[in-house]
Amino acid sequence: MNIGILGAGSWGIALAVLLHSKGHRLTMWEFSPEAAKFLDEKRELATKLPGIIIPPDIKITSSISEMFGVSELVICVVPSQTMRQTLKTAAKETERAVFDGIKGWVMAAKGIEIGTLELMTDVLIDEIPGLGTDRVAVLSGPSHAEEVSRGIPTTIVAASENQELAQLIQENFSTTTFRVYTNDDMRGVELAASIKNVIAVAAGIIDGMGFGDNTKGALMTRGIAEMMRLGRKMGAKDSTFSGLAGIGDLITTCISRHSRNRRMGELIASGLTLKEALGKMTMVAEGVETARSAYALAQKIGIEMPITTEVYKALFEDKPIKEAVKDLMMRETKPEFW
């Protein structure tokens, strides 16, 4: 199968290397012509995936229309807050007939767009002419690029309203080290994938403050409850949040040394401002901007998301961490499930 990857960061490269091992033909698009040329010549992104060599027959291009023109399946992995502009560029530079010939679109970016408060599949359908949910899927789960690229056993979920598309992805992506399950709750998977990054920022704050296992265990459990509450309001299934995209990815992102969102929380807990912390990151911590959009979404639809609220206030209103923790602990007492 001819597969295009929209974005040549660590996750895009990890997926390219994985899919190449299955015999697929890959074309990766990189926004910057200079970066595309560098990757094409060096065949390695040492700053993010040291030691992972991009096979020579994986094509790397900065021409977005070229990537779409040879693709039967497209995987979107550009950062969530640049997704819309990237797709607008694609729509401007690519003929409608080319889009019509693409069998499926796989959304692998995680986040909620600031301003519109839309999920990434909504943004995709907004911007690509003639595209409907029957050709869209979401790929998510506990899957750090650093591990997938090295063949460390990983399990993930492909979610789509079109089960034939989900099964197509399952068949074409699964390997001896990468197991794909299917799911029909695309919205639930996207919400879980987005909000778990916000909870992971909180987990990093906990680590940075020197709190213990009790604290992190409570955070992850109540984080799932918060994600589920949002999902229920938006038509998702509760069971999705108990699966790979929910509790599976949440645990991984909250505890892993690879987690950029957890690392961001640690930097904030050390006393750095948000601007200073962002300056120390080599990769995008999606949980930062998602904290802002998720907080706005909770306000808009009228649900309580106390962890998200305190992360938002710590990041964007300079609320002291100790005060945020105290406010969480001293909230009005409630039943566990409400």
Residue 336, C-beta contacts closer than 8 angstroms, at least 6 positions apart: 225
d(C-alpha 1, C-alpha 23), whole Å: 8
DSSP 4: E
> Per the residue annotation, which of 22, 88, 110, 196 is the catalytic one?
196
Measured from the Cβ of residue 142, the count of other Cβ atoms closer than 10 Å reads 20
Q: Which of 47, 283, 256 is nearest to 144 (CA)?
A: 256
Residue 2, C-beta contacts closer than 8 angstroms, at least 6 positions apart: 24, 25, 27, 70, 71, 72, 73
Q: Which of 303, 286, 325 is nearest to 202 (CA)?
A: 325
From residue 267, give the alpha-carbon distance in Å to each of 16, 208, 214, 314.
31, 7, 21, 12
Q: Sheet of 2-6: strands edge to edge?
A: 59-61, 25-29, 2-6, 73-76, 104-107, 136-140, 154-159, 178-183
DSSP 55: P
DSSP 320: -
Does residue 196 carry a catalytic annotation?
Answer: yes
**Two structure tokens written together for 81:** 């807050």
The enclosing H or E element of 261 equals helix 260-269
Measured from the Cβ of residue 276, the count of other Cβ atoms closer than 10 Å reads 12
Residue 262 backbone phi and psi in degrees, to 5: -60, -40
Q: What amino acid occupies position 90?
A: A
Q: What positions carry a catalytic annotation?
A: 196
